[in-house]
Amino acid sequence: METPKIRPHTPDPDSLLKGFAAPYTLYDRTEMPVTALAADYLPDHETPRHDHPNIQLIHAVRGVMVVSTQIGQWIVPPSRGLWMPAGVEHSIRMVGKVEMRTAFIRPDAAPGLPTQCAVLGVSPLLRELLLAAVEVPLPYHADSRHGRLMRFLLDEVQQMPSLPLSLPRPEDPRLQRICETITQTPDDQSTAGEWAVRLKVDPKTIHRLFLRETGMTFGQWRQQARLLAALEHLAGGARVVDVALELGYNSPTAFATMFKRQFGVAPSSFFQ
C-alpha cells in the first residue's frame, strides 16, 4: 500500500497504514470549530473504512474521489465537495492522482448544519478558502485573522448548493443483486420485467422496492449508475465515444444529451 503524503504534519508512515492515526486525530477532534488538512494520494489508493467525530468536507483540487458508505456512493470531482456527517463510516477510492484539501467542522460550529451526506458545489471562493485554511496552524484564536478566515469558510460552505452525484444503496437482497449487476456491467439492458422473471416477483414489486429504498425508480437508478460510471471513465482520460458505447448508449449523442441534462454541461467539458 502506498502511503499518502500529508502535510503540514507527516507522522510515522506505519501509523498511516493502520487507518487514520496521527495527522487526522490532530485535526478531526479538536476544540476548534473548523480545521483543515492537505493530503495527496496516488492513483487507485483506497482509504480503509473509518469515521470522524466531526463533520468532514471532502474536497480535492485535483483528481476524482469515489466515496462509499453503507447507504450509498458519491462521485466527487474537483468542482465538488462531499459533506460527510460526524460518525458516518466511509471509505474513499482515488481515481487518478488526488490532491485532497479537506475541512473538519464541529457539529455545533453553526446552527442547522446538514446531517445527511451530500455533494456540494465548490465555488472559486470556497476553493481558495480551503487552500488558505490548510496553512492555518493549530490552535488559533476565534478573534484572530485565522479565526475569521475559518468562520468565512464555514459561511461559504453553508451557501453551496447540493448536487445529484449520489447512488443510494438498497437493503433488499433482491435489489442488491440487480444493483450489483448494473454497477459491474452498466451496459446491461435488462428491463425491470426481465428482472422480475429472474427473481420470481411481480414487476410492480421491483418498482415499488426501488422507490421505497432508494427514492428512485428502477430506470432512474440505472441511469444514475451509468452516469456516475461515466464520470469515473472520463476522469481517467477515456474518450466520450468509448464511454458512451461501454455504458450501453446507442450513440455518443444520446449519452451526451443525458449527461448534459443531469449535470448541466457536456461530458467533454465537465472536468475543465
146 and 210 fall within a common domain = no
Domain with 28, as residue range(s), is 5-163
Residue 174, burial from CB neighbour count under 10 angstroms (0-12, 13-18, 19+): middle
Place 272 in a pLDDT band, splitting at 50, 70 and 90.
Answer: low
45 and 84 fall within a common domain = yes
Q: Answer yes or no: is 270 within a domain.
A: no
pLDDT of 7 higher than 50: no
Give the single-character DSSP code of 121: E
For residue 8, whether the previous peptide bond is cis, meaning omega lies within 30 degrees of 0, is yes
Average pLDDT over residues 260-272: 80
Average pLDDT over residues 166-194: 91
36 and 108 fall within a common domain = yes
- CB distance 107 to 116 below 8 Å: no
Other CB atoms within 10 Å distance of the CB of residue 48:
12
Last residue of a domain, one of 147, 163, 179: 163
CA distances from residue 171 to 178, 179, 185, 210 in whole angstroms, order as listed: 12, 11, 20, 10
Percent pLDDT > 90 in the chain is 56
Average pLDDT over residues 129-136: 95
Place 11 in a pLDDT band, splitting at 50, 70 and 90.
Answer: very low
**208-217 confidence digits (pLDDT tens):** 999 999 999 9
Round to whole Å and give the CA distance between 247 and 12. 43
20 and 113 fall within a common domain = yes
Q: Answer yes or no: is 216 within a domain.
A: yes
CATH number at residue 38: 2.60.120.280
Place 193 in a pLDDT band, splitting at 50, 70 and 90.
Answer: very high
pLDDT of 8 higher than 70: no
Answering whether pTM is above 0.85, one says no
pLDDT of 14 higher than 50: no
Q: Answer yes or no: is 269 within a domain.
A: no
Q: What contacts 137, CB < 8 A, 6 or more positions away? A: 8, 146
Longest dimension (CA), the chain: 65
Place 161 in a pLDDT band, splitting at 50, 70 and 90.
Answer: confident
Average pLDDT over residues 228-246: 87
Average pLDDT over residues 63-83: 90
- CB distance 78 to 60 below 8 Å: yes
Q: Answer yes or no: is 268 within a domain.
A: no
59 and 110 fall within a common domain = yes
Domain total for the chain? 2
